[in-house]
Structure 1
Amino acid sequence: MLLQGKTHQDDRGVITFNNEFDASEIKRIYTIENHSTDFIRGWQGHKIEQRWFASMKGSFEISVIEVDDFTNPSKDLISQKYLLTDEVLTYLHIPAGCITAIQSKSLDSKLLVLADYQLGEIADEYRYSLDYFNYM
């Protein structure tokens, strides 16, 4: 789900904001910077944890799959693609039960990641090869 951000500009400068985003569940914050625009980070995700993504610099294409079985997911699951840019502070909410593949679409892009669990609080990380699913 996208939580659309906005921007305001006046003689003092530019503010990007998102007044719809509720950060009360956030326990951890980090950033991702892929080493090139050809690299795709994924597939990985969580059965229990949630994530929220926002582009702090540049742009990212994020593919999301809702997993049917984390032990043996179907190979023909459908992904949804989202484009996040730094023009507005739009958050992409990745609910529990989903995995992602993340590709920066411009050089030197930086993605903000918010999580609702501390690192090591629970064992809930799942990874699959990029070619596991039929469409990639």
Structure 2
Amino acid sequence: MPQIITGGKHYDERGNLLYNNDFDFLGIKRMYCIENADTEFIRGWTGHKIEQRWFCVIHGRFILRLVKIDNWQNPSKESDILEFELDADRLNILHMPKGYASAIQAKEKKSKLLVMVDHSLREIDDDYRFPINHFKKLL
């Protein structure tokens, strides 16, 4: 089940310190950043049978929608969509376990999303794409 790993923020006379002391980097093999072209564009649906992903906003704000895939060749159009909002004010991290697909939308211009993955690039072939309007509701 997807979950938020809660970060925090400390402020003193020196400035802000963002932290996430509960996140375990063990098993992370690669990372990349996503910066959508604008706030209307929705990147998705992209799913993974085997890979896990962790998402953390490093600038701005994002809506991340996740859906559990019941059939990789023809997923149910009625699957429940889980929605999470993350922003750069804390280092909250959303864990997407294997078996899910994501749709990612920036809610502020120039927002940046850090994505961490537990498999190296081309280590496995585990990329499944579905039309953005496949599931019962997106917005």
State the TM bucket, normalised to the shorter chain. over 0.9
Q: Taking every aligned residue pair, what percent have the same amino acid on both sides?
A: 45
Report the TM-score, using the length of structure 2 for normalisation: 0.96
Post-superposition CA distance 1:78-103 (Å, at most 9, x none):
10100000000000000000000000
Q: Aligned ranges for residues 1-136 of structure 1 at < 5 Å?
A: 1-136=3-138
Q: How many residues align?
A: 136
SS, match of residue 123 in structure 1: coil
Note the residue ranges of structure 1 that are not aligned, 5 or more in a row. none
Letter in 2 for 1:125: D
Determine the C-alpha separation between the residues in 2 that align with 1:9 and 1:65: 36
Q: Encode CA deviations 1:1-29: one digit per residue, 9 max, x unaligned.
A: 00011000111111100000000010001
Q: Unaligned stretches of 5+ in structure 2?
A: none
Query: What do residues 37-83 of structure 1 show as CA deviations (whole Å, max 9, x unaligned)?
Result: 00000000200000000000000000000110111111110101000
> RMSD of the alignment, in Å?
0.6
Q: 1-side partners of 2:9 and 2:56: how far apart?
A: 14
Aligned-partner residue type, residue 124 of structure 1? D
Runs (4+) of structure 1 exceeding 2 A deviation are none
The separation in 2 between residues aligned to 1:110 and 1:45, in whole angstroms, is 20
Distance 2:7 2:47 in 1: 24
Distance 2:11 2:23 in 1: 20
